[in-house]
Amino acid sequence: MRIAAISHACVIDVNQRLFRQLSRHEGVELLLIAPRRWKASIGMVVDFREVEDAGFESAPLPVIGSGRISSHLYRGLGTTLRRFEPEIVYLDEEPYSLPAWQTLRICRRAGYRLCFMSAQNRVKHYPWPFRRIERGVFDYAELAVPPAPAIADVLRRKGFEGEIEVIPHFVDLELFRPLDRSDLRRELGLRGSVLGYMGRLTEEKGLMDLRHAAETLWDRGRDVSVMLVGGGPMADVFHRWRSFAPEGRVVLTGPVPHSAAPEYMNVFEILVLPSWTTHGWEEQFGRVLIEAPACGIPTVGSSSGNIPQIIEQLGSGLVFQERDPEALADAVEELLEDPQRAREMAHSGRERARKLFSLPAVASRLYEALSGMSR
């Protein structure tokens, strides 16, 4: 089975691990196409780096529109695909995007079979030409592999009639595992129980609720600190908050490489994901919700999007009503008051993450889905 995978996210070597695992299955020959260089949303420029012991062929290509997730194009994509002659093209891009349009044109001309991933969990009607691109992908593709059932429902409601297999994101348990990072904790000057957030510092992530919940916990006499790992437009807001918060109670690390994320995550006592549902967005998956349990860390998440389903699947923590910082403070306090329960949630989360979201489990599901296309 000759598979060509196209993924801007795979400019980062950690994200290539799914395809490394997939390529270990019998009969798989895989070509990974990714940007040669990518400008991340937080401003960092990332050069392609192949994952160690890849087991697949890689083709880092120059892109037009680096950093624009839905509107970039690959130089030399057609030539690269024709050289490899895949049976199946796996498109790790949204079906309405310009790379989807570019891939669709090539597949139609060459007769390559097409599978795509979508993470869009809201029914959205795009303007031309994106609406037409999406329709074209829906009409041509044989298989969609969304990471959550709600996304599968959206695809059906928008008219996709092909096969759908829900295949979740993966967590690499070799990377995300319990680690003693007391040295990093001391280096960062953290005090008390650490409430951690990792991701984009944006309004829809509900970070103001985390701030208000922390202030409530301080008022209640709780010995807690807040650690924010990531970058984004709200960074300045939290730098200002840190300046007048109690000393050692708020730490911002800025963006960290994905390979270093487990180091920082293991400083957390509790991971918090307080996302808000907005007019055009709700939490699509929440990868930190499988990464934190893999590190043996309980989670507290809001009721937005896919968060309750992940926490329920893993038995890894508590869910609170979104946009209610008092409820968030109560959930955190509930875990702090019952450390035995928190430890049980952390243990359950790691064991279920191994079964449901580990690299071997997710790669096997993807292999079975793609094998169905090649029969």
In the three-class reduction of DSSP (H, G, I as helix; E, B as strand; rest coil), residue 170 is classed as coil
What is the pLDDT averaged over residues 276-295?
A: 93
Cα–Cα distance, 257 to 264 (Å, whole number) = 10
Amino acid in the structure at residue 86: P
Quick one: residue 315, left, alpha or beta (phi over 0 = left, psi -120 to 50 = alpha)? left
Over the stretch 305-363, which tens digit does the pLDDT of each residue have? Answer: 999 999 999 999 999 999 999 999 999 999 999 999 999 999 999 999 999 999 999 99
The number of residues making up the chain comes to 375
What DSSP assignment string belongs to 253-305? EE---GGGHHHHHTT-SEEEE-----SS------THHHHHHHTT--EEEESST
Residues β-bridged to residue 57 = 31
pLDDT beyond 90 at 159 = yes
pLDDT band for position 41 (50/70/90)?
Answer: low
pLDDT of res. 42:
58
pLDDT beyond 80 at 68 = yes
Cα–Cα distance, 107 to 85 (Å, whole number) = 10
pLDDT beyond 70 at 374 = no
What domains lie within the chain, and their CATH numbers? 2-170+358-374 (3.40.50.2000), 182-356 (3.40.50.2000)
pLDDT band for position 244 (50/70/90)?
Answer: confident
In the three-class reduction of DSSP (H, G, I as helix; E, B as strand; rest coil), residue 65 is classed as coil
pLDDT of res. 280:
85
180 Cβ contact list (under 8 Å, min separation 6): 266
pLDDT of res. 34:
98
Taking CA atoms, 303 is separated from 60, 232, 286, 332, in Å, by: 39, 23, 12, 15
Average pLDDT value for the chain: 94
User: Contact, 132 vs 166, CB < 8 A?
Assistant: no
Over the stretch 121-151, which tens digit does the pLDDT of each residue have? Answer: 999 989 999 999 999 999 999 999 999 999 9
Cα–Cα distance, 285 to 295 (Å, whole number) = 18
pLDDT of res. 50:
96
pLDDT beyond 80 at 283 = yes
Cα–Cα distance, 368 to 51 (Å, whole number) = 23
Cα–Cα distance, 347 to 318 (Å, whole number) = 14
